[in-house]
Amino acid sequence: PESPGVLVNHGEGHRGDLVSEIEFGDVEVHVEFMVPERSTSGVYLQGRYEIQVLDSHGKEDPRHDDCGGIYQRWDDDREPRGYEGHPPRVNAARPPFQWQTYDIVFRAPRFDADGNKIANARFERVVHNGVLVHEDVELTGQTRGGYPGEVAQGPLRLQGDHGPIAYRNVRIRRLPTQEPVE
């Protein structure tokens, strides 16, 4: 049975993403999720930069595509096509069907008055189940599966793909903008 306040995506195949109507720049995000065996999803800041959600409990050498990883970028015209993925420092994933948490501090890319990017997006901090898994990770562009292009503000996107997933207690707090250091 489903509980009030829990967003559940179940069934086979792509079931649709949950996308906020409000767009954000610098934010602090708290999200709780439950993932069953062999399911995968993602939490996308600005709809473009993914922290992976995956059943990775017990994996000794996590990669960028394991739970807590920052998913890789992708370019069909380069070799290897996948690049710049960031594995979590440690595997903090709980067993399937247990609630887990992400606490994320994200800094949006910066643009000058002419729309030129002058600072990359950055995960200032990602805490998975109370364990610091990323700190000050700069992103040169959107991760694979992210919306194209980079922007100063974008939506929070909870991916509804690749098997069942449940989300609850999603909280977003805007942060004061920090100007890039030159």
The pTM of this model reads 0.91
Q: What is the pLDDT of residues 115-126, one digit of tens each?
A: 999 999 999 999
Closest among 47, 29, 78, 9 to 145, alpha carbons compared: 47
Instruction: Give the count of beta carbons closer than 10 Å to the beta carbon of residue 43.
Output: 21
Token pair in block for residue 152: 């100063």
CB-facing half-sphere around the CA of 34: CA atoms within 13 A:
13
Give tens-digit pLDDT for 44-95: 999 999 999 999 999 999 999 999 999 999 999 999 999 999 999 999 999 9
| Contact yes or no for 145/129 (Cβ under 8 A) | no
